[in-house]
Amino acid sequence: MPLLPSLRRLGRPGRVPARLPPEVAARLPGVTPIAWAPVRDGGWVVLSTREWVAVPADETAPPVRRGWHEVDNAQWLTESSALRVRWIDGDTQVVRLSGDDPRVPQVVRERVEASIVHHVSRDLPGGVQVRAVVRRDGDGGLTSQVSVVGTASVSPEVARIAEALEAEARSAVGLPE
């Protein structure tokens, strides 16, 4: 399944500013934004080649930075003009955007795909899929991740398969098993 299968014109009211507002940019020293959008509930999503940054509306709260290698899955929800992001730590976030700029979902797709170096997956009975992925982080380092999709609990058999798939993915790119 593609990461963000539909990148049609978003059709939301309002326009995203051509430049990131200076008060938002000032909270992100060293970040070179390539796309951004205001969030309906306040704050901003700012995307760079290295990371996703959630900038809270509360100016005293620090921005939350997540590397592209931390995204397990992202999906554009056309009806609600929102991105649903599942992070590798299991957290799921739905971010409802304002404005009509299609760059945010497009950049999310491009950056997540760019972080993937190698992946292997195996479909198991009962609709379970095990995926092992080697990803490149923002500093160029490689890391491996395993996702089990379609089951509430992981059996010893699924855990064994996940471990073997991770070893296979790591070996394919020259990382130690």
Q: Does the structure show a pLDDT above 90 at 118?
A: yes
Residue with tokens 């700012």: 46
Structural domain contains residue 7: no
| Residues 82 and 165 both lie in one domain | no
In the prediction, which pLDDT does 99 show? 73
| Residues 29 and 109 both lie in one domain | yes
What is the CA angle 21-32-44, rounded to 5? 40
Q: Does the structure show a pLDDT above 80 at 154?
A: no
pTM (2 d.p.): 0.83
Average pLDDT over residues 149-158: 79
Q: CA-based diameter of the chain, in Å?
A: 53
Q: Does the structure show a pLDDT above 70 at 46?
A: yes
The domain total for the chain is 2
Which of 97, 114, 131 delimits the end of a domain? 114
| Residues 40 and 105 both lie in one domain | yes
In the prediction, which pLDDT does 127 show? 87
Q: Does the structure show a pLDDT above 50 at 34?
A: yes
pLDDT bin (cut points 50, 70, 90) of residue 7 is very low
pLDDT bin (cut points 50, 70, 90) of residue 49 is very high
Contacts of 14 (CB under 8 A, 6+ apart): 98, 99, 100
CA distance 91 to 84: 11
Tell me which residue range forms the domain holding 27: 22-114
Average pLDDT over residues 7-35: 74
Q: Does the structure show a pLDDT above 70 at 6?
A: no
Alpha helix ranges (H) inside the chain: 22-25, 103-115, 156-172
CATH code of residue 100: 2.30.29.30
- Identify which of 14, 49, 73, 76 has the alpha carbon closest to the alpha carbon of residue 139: 49
Average pLDDT over residues 31-45: 95
